[in-house]
């Protein structure tokens, strides 16, 4: 009993570790990291716009808040310095006829409030710049221009983050498993994909990459070697009418990397099938890409997808997403090689010819031996 539990636990841990070793997760995130990069991190600051857009929300909001608070406090210090140099502060006991650079700045707190009011253009009217100081006028102009730049950049980054087509890709879903069964007399690998919104993806294109480790004839080991996988639907693989769930399929012929796999050996293979869907969002005209992946444990041999689209009595088409990833076992050849050999054998039988000149003569055997 103990050995059985230990074996089950070991196989479970091995299976979990294998499931984690995938380049692309089910939701499309890439599991890869870069090490020993010779280029400096400064190159990411050159393209600061893309760097800000790629940041996570918590870091982006931290930069957003820090940019405004930092600029307000920095200019607050500068306004305090101007008031201090011009001796406008109460500790200098200015005379009654003294005209300050900025009215009603009594300390660092009031200087910070004036900086805030200036940059966000609140304009309470209690504190204002006078015409006595050219330095204060220049500082007011500089802060106003810089404030507009900071406001435009940060608000634009937030808006671009919200409206990125990456969020649209979250409403495109793939089936949990891929299946292998016969379709149109051919052995095919099938995957189901659905658009959860009624708005279409324009110019959609579906393709795949098979990632595996290969060894070249020269003895070089290539990790994550990429092999193209062509996916089609009945109407073609481009300009899809993506209003209802589609079943895309890859024909397993002699040029397919799945041709030499069988139902008994597919779980022993080491590969990852990455599926891509590219399209243009109808509402924003922005391009987006949806990704998912399948490992050998997620490819079911001898199954097909359950029906998902039906027609109601009112004449409407209904999509039942409860059956979206549901599969049904069907009779399927255990390998593509056997299927095509069977077809070739039947074709050769049909190509047989009869020879009308052939006559079968019966020869009677006689015994010449005498006793």
Token pair for 354: 């009869």
For residue 81, give the 3-state DSSP assignment. helix
For residues 210 and 271, give the distance between their C-alpha atoms in angstroms, rounded to a whole number. 7
Based on the structure, what is the number of domains in the chain? 2
Task: Give yes or no: residues 103 and 182 share one domain.
Answer: no
pLDDT of residue 161: 83
Low-confidence ranges of the chain (pLDDT < 70): 1-21, 36-41, 234-239, 341-371
What's the distance, CA 221 to chain centroid? 28
Q: Is residue 21 part of a domain?
A: no
Does 305 lie in the same domain as 228? yes
Query: 309 vs 10, 74, 183, 323, CA distance in Å?
Result: 42, 62, 18, 9
| 192 and 338, same domain (yes or no) | yes
Q: Are 165 and 288 in contact (CB under 8 A)?
A: yes
Q: Is residue 109 part of a domain?
A: yes
Residue 27 lies in a domain: no
CA distances from 34 to 4, 37, 259 (A): 41, 7, 34
Instruction: Give the tens place of pLDDT for each residue, 275-333.
Output: 998 888 877 778 888 899 999 999 999 999 998 888 888 888 888 888 888 999 998 88
Supply the CATH number for residue 61's domain: 1.10.287.70
CATH number at residue 324: 2.60.40.1400
Note whether 273 and 259 are same-domain residues: yes
**What are the pLDDT digits (tens) for 156-198?**
988 888 877 777 777 888 999 999 998 888 899 999 998 888 7
The answer to whether position 17 is within a domain reads: no
């Amino acid at each position: 009993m103990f050995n059985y539990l230990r074996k089950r636990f070991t196989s479970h841990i091995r299976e979990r570790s294998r499931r984690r070793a995938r380049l692309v997760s089910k939701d499309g995130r890439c599991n890869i990291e870069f090490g020993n990069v010779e280029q400096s991190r400064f190159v990411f600051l050159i393209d600061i716009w893309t760097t800000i857009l790629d940041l996570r929300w918590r870091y982006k909001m931290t930069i957003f808040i820090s940019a405004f608070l930092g600029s307000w406090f920095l200019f607050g210090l500068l306004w305090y310095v101007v008031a201090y140099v011009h001796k406008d502060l109460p500790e200098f006991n200015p005379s009654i006829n003294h005209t300050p650079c900025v009215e009603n700045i009594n300390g660092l707190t009031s200087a910070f409030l004036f900086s805030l009011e200036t940059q966000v253009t609140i304009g309470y009217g209690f504190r204002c710049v006078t015409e006595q100081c050219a330095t204060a006028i220049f500082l007011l102009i500089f802060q106003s221009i810089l404030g507009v730049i900071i406001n435009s950049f940060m608000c634009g980054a937030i808006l671009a983050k919200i409206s990125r087509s990456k969020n649209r890709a979250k409403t495109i879903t793939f089936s949990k498993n891929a299946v292998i069964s016969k379709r149109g007399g051919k052995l095919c690998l099938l995957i189901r994909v659905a658009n959860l919104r009624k708005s279409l993806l324009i110019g959609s294109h579906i393709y795949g990459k098979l990632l595996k480790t290969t060894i070249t004839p020269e003895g070089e080991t290539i990790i994550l070697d990429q092999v193209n996988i062509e996916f089609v639907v009945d109407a073609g693989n481009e300009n899809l009418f993506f209003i209802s769930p589609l079943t895309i399929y890859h024909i397993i012929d002699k040029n397919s990397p799945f041709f030499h796999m069988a139902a008994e050996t597919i779980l022993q293979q080491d590969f990852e099938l990455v599926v891509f869907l590219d399209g243009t969002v109808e509402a924003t005209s922005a391009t987006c890409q949806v990704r998912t992946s399948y490992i050998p444990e997620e490819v079911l041999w001898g199954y097909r997808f359950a029906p998902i689209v039906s027609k109601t009595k009112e004449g409407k088409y209904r999509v039942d997403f409860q059956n979206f990833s549901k599969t049904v076992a069907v009779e399927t050849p255990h390998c593509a090689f056997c299927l095509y050999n069977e077809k070739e054998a039947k074709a050769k039988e049909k190509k047989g010819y009869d020879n009308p000149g052939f006559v079968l003569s019966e020869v009677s055997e006689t015994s010449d031996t005498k006793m």
